[in-house]
Structures are given as C-alpha cells and as structure tokens.
Structure 1
Amino acid sequence: MYGDIEDLVLSGKLFAPPSRSSSPVRPRSPSSPSSPSPAEA
C-alpha cells in the first residue's frame, strides 16, 4: 500500500507536485554560487 508513496518520495513528486512547477525550489540566480565549491568536488 505504501509502495506508491515510497516511489513518490524517492522521485521527489511528493514534495514537488507538478502543480507547483511554476515555483522553482532553487531559483537560478547568476549572483548565487550555483557552481559546486572545491570542498564539495
């Protein structure tokens, strides 16, 4: 029964429904350091 729920969680659809696709969780801003830092590489 919870199989579908698990799939939604793993796919990220549970917390990011298509209906909210207009509101990006991570807005791409040129001023923001979107590139990974050397420590994370």
Structure 2
Amino acid sequence: KFGTQGLELLPEIREIENVELLEQMREAIKTVNTLDELRQIYTTS
C-alpha cells in the first residue's frame, strides 16, 4: 500500500513487542491514508 516508504518503517515496527498494538496496526493499515497516521498508532501507545 505504501511502497518503498512503507518498508522504511519496518525497523521501527520490528521493535514493537506488544501483540495487541501490532494487531491494531494491521487493522489500521486498511484505513489509514498516510504513513504518519500509521506511525501515530505506535508512537502514542
């Protein structure tokens, strides 16, 4: 969905150990419009 820019988030996402947060992110990918919106999910949790 986000191409190469989305891949740049992988190092940050790999650091997340909270399974519930990862599940929230998986669902959010379907509805968010920008990477910043996705990033807000795991930076505010």
The structure with more radius of gyration: 1
Please tell me the TM-score bracket, short chain as reference. under 0.3
Relative to the length of structure 1, the TM-score reads 0.24
Relative to the length of structure 2, the TM-score reads 0.23
